[in-house]
Amino acid sequence: MSQAGVVFVTGGASGIGRAVARRLAGAGSSVVVADQDVRNGNETRDLITAAGGHAMFEEIDVRDRKSIRTAADSAVSQYGRITGLVNCAGIVTMTSLAELSEEEWDLVVDVNLKGTWLVTQEVARDIEVAGGGAVVNISTVEAEVVVSSAGHCQVHYNASKGGVKMLTKALAVELARSSIRVNAVAPGPIATDFVSLEGITAPETLEALRGRLLIPRIGQPEDVASAVSFLLSDESSWITGVHLPVDGGWLTR
């Protein structure tokens, strides 16, 4: 599977983003780890370079165009080009509709949806200059179904990720003329600290999810990273506009 290139990964400091960055570097890509979390972002870079890969860290806020442009320019200066983008930066707050503030709504929607748009708008320019490439957005099964936790769902999160699904399709249309493919991966329950690692990996959690999962285990960040790697590679050169579930069969039932 051809993977050589330079890939800009937002949210690369931890969780799925870190797994994606390490997987891509292991397959031969140079990786730009872009995140607000400086300590863990540098740690991701160091893990990659210690394993013989190529990586740099750039501090960014996906809601801020200037920081995105600065990071992209640094990547081009370091590696000469950018050929791929993974929009993995995301956030959720566990707040019910009745208690949800405008500030929380704006934070979640701005990071998850506006951030995906802003980063793609900026970095796609560099990918086009490089001759084309691919973008992969990280969505969720909650772009398709509502998952209730603690007696309520997270309407702001569902709205933001549902937007990412349609944004992916629209970007696939817009960027086709620039030889850029755009797809999304929609993870199911994944063992990360995104909400609570202890909670998601608890035996009682798996037991509660057995009625939905066809593959009886909690997903790992590497499961998502494998799908992202495929969608960035030449093996998927005739695939664009797809919202691919990586969910252990969650959406099948």
Of 15-24, 112-121, 209-218, which range is least confident? 209-218
Please tell me the class of the 6-194+221-244 domain.
alpha beta
Q: What is the pLDDT of residues 164-192, one digit of tens each?
A: 999 999 999 999 999 999 999 999 999 98
Task: Find out whether 218 and 190 touch, Cβ atoms under 8 Å.
Answer: yes
DSSP state of 219: B
Residue with tokens 């990996």: 201
Helix, strand, or coil here: 179? coil
Pairwise CA distance, residues 157 & 91, whole Å: 8
Condensed to tens digits (0 to 9), the pLDDT of residues 105-125 reads 999 999 999 999 999 999 999
Helix (H, G, I), strand (E, B), or coil: what is residue 30? Answer: strand
**For residues 241 and 134, what is the distance between their CA atoms, to the nearest angstrom?**
11
The helix (run of H) or strand (run of E) holding residue 218 is none
Say if CB 141 and CB 188 are below 8 A apart.
yes
Is residue 198's pLDDT more than 80? no
Q: Which residues are catalytic?
A: 157
147/165 Cα distance (integer angstroms): 17
The answer to whether 165 and 185 have CB atoms below 8 angstroms apart is no
What is the Cα–Cα distance from 97 to 226, expressed in whole angstroms?
35
pTM (2 decimals)? Answer: 0.94
Contact 188, 213 (CB under 8 A): yes
